[in-house]
């Protein structure tokens, strides 16, 4: 049958329920236990006369005077049996004529073990809770089209337990991160998603317009500059888990809407935060995966050892043979990029070209947990320079399996240097680099009141979940990824 023919059949069943005096979408749902609780406490609950259970019908196996069904309330599956003689004949008949796979039902009965020792509910009465009009995807093949899986994630997670478990783990990871930060004395705060000026990262923003104020506003590309304002305002340890938005392309590791954790600690440094980040990742892996080793793209990642530390410049020298990156010209760097098959757009700045070389030639080769430290100052305009080398900033990224999961640095709190760095960014922007950071006068004013020395960290939640679930497309760990409209 076609989908429309199936819909029409189910609509007729809906009409049958109404004609029999049953509301197929009642308001009240009176049940006693989750199906997970029933499985765990079966021996005790089996002694009760009757219990009420609820769930979605996932399979039906009619056998004449007996109907077996599996149903699931989201906490787990359970079996039930409808048998003539154990239930009113009219209710048995109505069940057989109106209930389909996908329907939500309330089942009342007694627990027992079948001859095969299967935990089962013997149904004495039943009620429809929500009649489904469309059929679920076929159990064994599910949604075959990848685009449809992303577009109809609710069916994807319903039919594939592995997909559902991925998002359960995502929630557990976020809860665990909150627990770690709360225990360490950080305060969870909120910053604006609509901002008058995009800042805190090098990225293209989404722009919108507020009619009442008659001003353009931007969806945040980062919450960094606002969290730093809170440091100025005497909040010494703050964090936020939020959505950021960047008007960029979509690929295996990028989605225009994504989730970030950022935290900032007054009187701290990048090196101190490096130790804390290592502790966070080791704690998460052990807590969520019950191991110290993960598999990522057929490679074993070992979290039991001390994370490696290597400088950005040493990496470039090792894998690209660029010796003196701080002193070569943009034309020389462009030529080197061409030799390495790295594309260079007309408006790309020196730092963009350098970063693209690093991403293609260096980062994919870093498999075990590695902190990459000491970046050129122009590459991270919000990071503090190292005292022994003003051309380098005190910063790090954590790379695992060739993927950047963390970016962090000792936060620049010198308003004079910050203004100069912003001015450099504005110049780069005028030269054609659209992702260059903006000069933010309000942030500079806050810095002039005094911001304490601080260490700040950003962790990509989506990529973290990719690592924990050995998933190789960011859209597999975002329940509602950004898709082209049909």
Q: What's the pLDDT tens digit per position in 442-481?
A: 999 999 999 999 999 999 999 999 999 999 999 999 999 9
pLDDT of residue 410: 98
Mean pLDDT of 394-406: 97
- Tell me the C-alpha distance between 134 and 8, whole Å: 9
Predicted TM-score (pTM) of this structure: 0.93
What average pLDDT does range 8-19 have in this prediction?
A: 97
Q: What percent of the chain has pLDDT over 70?
A: 99
Q: Are 160 and 149 in contact (CB under 8 A)?
A: no
Range from 80-89, 128-137, 263-272, 326-335 carrying the lowest mean pLDDT:
326-335
64: left (phi over 0), alpha (psi -120 to 50) or beta: left
Question: Looking at residue 1, what is its pLDDT?
Answer: 84
Q: Label residue 140 by pLDDT band (50, 70, 90).
A: very low
Q: Would the pLDDT of 139 be above 70?
A: no
Can you tell me the mean pLDDT for 87-92? 94
- Within 8 A by CB and 6+ apart from 190, the residues are 240, 242
Q: For 308-325, what is the mean pLDDT?
A: 91
Could you tell me the pLDDT band of residue 208, with boundaries at 50, 70 and 90? very high
Tell me which of 433 and 194 has the higher pLDDT. 194
Name the percent of the chain lying above pLDDT 90: 92
Question: What Å distances lie between residue 47 and 23, 76, 79, 118, 265, CA to CA?
Answer: 31, 22, 18, 16, 56
What is residue 147's predicted lDDT score, i.e. its pLDDT?
Answer: 87
Q: Output the pLDDT for position 183.
A: 98
pLDDT at 370 over 90: yes
Q: Which of 32-41, 77-86, 141-150 has the lowest mean pLDDT?
A: 141-150
Long-range pairs for 258-261 at CB < 8 Å and ≥24 separation? Answer: 258/460, 258/461, 258/462, 258/474, 258/478, 259/460, 259/461, 259/462, 260/222, 260/223, 260/458, 260/459, 260/460, 260/461, 261/177, 261/457, 261/458, 261/459, 261/461
pLDDT at 326: 81
User: What is the average pLDDT score of the chain?
Assistant: 95
C-alpha 377/C-alpha 355 separation (Å) is 13
Q: Which residues contact 139 (CB under 8 A, 6 or more apart)?
A: 58, 59, 159
Dihedral sign computed on CA atoms, order 454, 460, 464, 467: negative
Task: Summarize the confidence of residues 279-295 as an average pLDDT.
Answer: 97
pLDDT reported for residue 376: 93
Give the tokens for residue 437.
Answer: 């950071």
What is the set of domains in the chain, with CATH numbers?
Answer: 3-130 (2.40.50.140), 154-307+368-476 (3.30.930.10)
Judged by average pLDDT, the poorest of 222-236, 282-296, 333-347 is 333-347
Question: Can you list the pairs that 478-483 forms with residues at least 24 positions away whose Cβ atoms lie under 8 Å?
Answer: 478/255, 478/257, 478/258, 479/153, 479/157, 479/167, 480/153, 481/150, 481/255, 482/250, 482/255, 482/256, 482/257, 483/147, 483/150, 483/151
Contact 67, 96 (CB under 8 A): yes
């Amino acid at each position: 049958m076609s989908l429309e023919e199936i819909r029409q059949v189910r609509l007729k069943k809906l009409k049958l329920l109404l004609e029999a005096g049953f509301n197929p979408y009642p308001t009240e749902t009176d049940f006693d236990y989750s199906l997970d609780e029933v499985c765990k406490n079966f021996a005790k609950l089996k002694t009760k006369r009757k219990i009420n259970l609820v769930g979605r019908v996932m399979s039906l196996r009619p056998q004449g005077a007996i109907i077996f069904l599996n149903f699931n309330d989201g906490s787990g599956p359970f079996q039930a049996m409808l048998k003539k003689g154990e239930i009113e004949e009219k209710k048995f008949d109505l069940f057989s004529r109106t209930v389909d796979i996908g329907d939500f039902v309330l089942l009342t009965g007694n627990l027992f073990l079948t001859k095969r020792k299967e935990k089962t509910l013997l149904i004495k009465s039943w009620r429809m809770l929500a009649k489904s009009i469309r059929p679920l995807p076929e159990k064994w093949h599910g949604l075959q089209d990848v685009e449809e899986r992303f577009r109809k994630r609710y069916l994807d997670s319903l039919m594939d337990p592995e997909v559902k478990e991925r998002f359960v783990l995502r929630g557990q990871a976020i809860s665990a991160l909150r627990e770690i930060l709360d225990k360490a004395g950080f305060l969870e705060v909120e910053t604006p998603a609509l901002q008058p000026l995009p800042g805190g990262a090098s990225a293209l923003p989404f722009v919108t317009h507020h009619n009442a104020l008659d001003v353009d506003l931007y969806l945040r590309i980062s919450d960094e500059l606002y969290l730093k304002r809170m440091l100025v305002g005497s909040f010494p340890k703050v964090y936020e888990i939020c959505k950021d938005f960047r008007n960029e392309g979509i690929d295996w590791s990028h989605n225009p809407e994504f989730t970030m954790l950022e935290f900032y600690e007054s009187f701290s440094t990048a090196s101190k935060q490096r130790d804390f980040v290592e502790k966070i990742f080791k704690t998460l892996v052990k807590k969520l995966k019950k191991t110290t080793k993960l598999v990522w793209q057929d490679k074993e990642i070992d979290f039991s050892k001390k994370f490696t530390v290597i400088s950005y410049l040493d990496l470039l020298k090792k894998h690209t043979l660029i010796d003196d990156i701080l002193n070569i010209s943009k034309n020389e760097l462009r030529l080197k990029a061409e030799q390495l098959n790295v594309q260079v757009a007309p408006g790309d700045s020196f730092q963009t070209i350098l970063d693209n070389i690093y991403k293609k030639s260096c980062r994919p080769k870093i498999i075990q947990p590695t902190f990459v430290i000491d970046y050129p100052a122009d590459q991270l305009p919000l990071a503090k320079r190292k005292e022994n080398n003003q051309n380098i900033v005190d910063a790090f990224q954590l790379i695992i399996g060739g993927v950047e999961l963390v970016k962090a640095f000792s936060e620049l709190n010198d308003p004079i240097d910050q203004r100069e760095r912003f001015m450099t960014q504005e110049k780069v922007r005028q030269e054609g680099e659209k992702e260059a950071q903006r000069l933010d006068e309000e942030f500079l004013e806050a810095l002039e009141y005094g911001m304490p020395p601080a260490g700040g960290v950003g962790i990509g939640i989506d990529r973290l979940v990719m690592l924990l679930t050995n998933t190789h497309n960011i859209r597999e760990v975002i329940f509602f990824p950004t898709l082209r409209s049909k």
